Amino acid sequence: MAHLGLIIDMKSMADNKKIDVNVNYMYVDVGGGALWGDVLKHCVSEYGLAPKSWTDYLDLTVGGTLSNAGVSGQAFRFGPQTSSVTELEVVTGNGEKIVCSNSQNSQLFFSVLGGLGQFGIITRARVLLQPAPDMVRWIRVVYSEFNDFTHDAELLITSQETFNYVEGFVFVNSDDLVTGWPSVPLNSNQSFDPTLLPKKIGPVLYYLELVLHYNNHDDPSTLNMMVEKLLGKLKYLEHFRFETNLTYMNFLLRVDHVEEAARGSGIWATPHPWLNMLISKKDIDAFNRIVLQNILKSGVNGPILTYPLLRSKWDNRSSVVLPQDEIFYLVALLRFTHTHPKESEIKQMVAQNQEVVQTCIKNGFDFKLYFPHYESTVEWKRHFGDQWERFVDRKRQFDPKAILAPGQKIFTRNHIL
Ligand SMILES: Cc1cc2nc3c(=O)[nH]c(=O)nc-3n(C[C@H](O)[C@H](O)[C@H](O)COP(=O)(O)OP(=O)(O)OC[C@H]3O[C@@H](n4cnc5c(N)ncnc54)[C@H](O)[C@@H]3O)c2cc1C
């Protein structure tokens, strides 16, 4: 984690628990080490307000996700979490505590957003809020053809009238409990009947996961009409639509149940060699053919996410680097191991991740790693591409002795820039 260095436990900071809502200006000031789940509970239960953009799992710190981007099914509309922040308090590598925003110390503000912890420690963030709905209609619709799946996903993320949340998943065409048909239904009284699938289909299938917000006092028939109107435009497989209703809070905390079950069976605290990538739309068909339907045709023993996002919703002044196309896909291989994994099992997973990355490079795909992990400066330079000089300049300005996050091997400690 930090060889011969220090790990700062953000939970130990006295004002970390601070979650101050400003109702008039619709924002919340939160400590950098606060967990998004706590922000949600406080804002919704006390004020009926909530941040606009989330991650799928909320036991992550505010400072931690803002140092990457923070992405989930709302990002197509509101951008990543970094796009909903208007002010930060940061302790830089120079040891200065600085308040920054779009208009005040803006260089530092944009450096730190998506800055991988390289420029400063986020000790407070001001996050925009909006009214929280009471409930959500949570829907999954299945596809056998990747083209139909991407067509519909892109239609939904570019339409004015659309769902509040759009994500996509890949699953294996088999009865495997974790990666196959049984992983699709949303509750135990629904079942996936594979005999109703078209005859000629590939090794993997896809589903869109969609959510529409509503309030308790809304007329149910109006909600149903809206759902039918939006789904009516889509080309998913007949008989393969699953839906349920949930409180907004329970929907956002949905991964807690996965965590609870995984902790119970001992597979939460085992290694998770995850791979997250952002891939330009122009290469996503080839990626599907070569990687999803081939290298990963047996799944990854955990969820595979793939859904489109819009580049224009990301601020290109932040430190995040993205592929070129306006539409690009997040691809996440969220691997789980067995309870007591052998070293060979983990090595195999890591090797398969490397194979996927190498395949993308070999085929000239336009992609970036999300949560990048590289071993050498050469690889980091390639990752940042034409943003490398800007990243180095930012380091020179805010952490010239390279004391922050040296374990990422972007800069060498004690090397005066
Ligand atoms: C189970 C799980 C599910 C996830 N799901 C999603 C998802 O849906 N969407 C998504 O976008 N991401 C997701 N992530 C990834 C997540 O955004 C990153 O791992 C993020 O770094 C987590 O924050 P943390 O608080 O756990 O950071 P830590 O693991 O504690 O820190 C990671 C690094 O981030 C930097 N950092 C952390 N805190 C600060 C700070 N206050 N100031 C400056 N730098 C800091 C440091 O460099 C640190 O080394 C998930 C991660 C996990 C473990």
Residues in CB range of 317: below 8 A, 6 or more apart:
106, 110
Query: Residue 91: enclosing H or E segment and its boundaries?
Result: strand 85-92
What pLDDT sits at residue 4?
A: 79
Q: Which superfamily does 135-253 belong to?
A: FAD-linked oxidases, C-terminal domain (3.40.462.10)
Task: Kindly state if the Cβ of 122 falls inside 6 Å of ligand 1.
Answer: yes
Residue of 55, 84, 399 to mutate, ligand 1, most atoms within 8 A of C-beta:
55
> Pairing between strand 135-143 and 204-214?
antiparallel
Answer yes or no: are the C-beta atoms of 123 and 13 closer than 8 Å.
Answer: yes
13 has a pLDDT exceeding 80: no
Average pLDDT, the chain: 96
CATH of domain 262-370: 3.40.462.10
414 has a pLDDT exceeding 70: no
156 has a pLDDT exceeding 90: yes
Residue of 67, 257, 258 to mutate, ligand 1, most atoms within 8 A of C-beta:
67
Task: Kindly state if the Cβ of 253 falls inside 6 Å of ligand 1.
Answer: no
**pLDDT over 70 for what percent of the chain?**
98
Q: How far apart are CA 382 and CA 268, in angstroms?
A: 33
Query: What six digits make up the tokens of 30?
Result: 């939160």
Under the banding of pLDDT at 50, 70 and 90, the label for residue 415 is low
Task: Kindly state if the Cβ of 64 falls inside 6 Å of ligand 1.
Answer: yes
Q: Identify the residue whose C-alpha is closest to ligand 1 atom 28.
A: 64
Instruction: Give me ligand 1 centre to Cα 130, in Å.
Output: 24
What pLDDT sits at residue 80?
A: 98
Instruction: Give me ligand 1 centre to Cα 121, in Å.
Output: 13
What pLDDT sits at residue 18?
A: 83
**Average pLDDT value for residue range 79-102:** 98
**Average pLDDT value for residue range 57-79:** 97
Q: How far apart are CA 234 and CA 200, in angstroms?
A: 21
Q: Ligand 1 atom closest to Cα of 117?
A: 44
262-370 has the same fold as 135-253 = yes
Q: Which sequence spans correspond to the domains of the chain? A: 10-131, 135-253, 262-370
What's the one-letter identity of residue 111?
S
- Among candidate residues 137, 98, 120, the one with its CA nearest the CA of residue 229: 137
Give per-residue pLDDT as tens, 208-219. Answer: 999 999 999 999
State the architecture of 10-131 in CATH terms: 2-Layer Sandwich (3.30)
What pLDDT sits at residue 14?
A: 65
Give per-residue pLDDT as tens, 304-344. Answer: 999 999 999 999 999 999 999 999 999 999 999 988 999 99
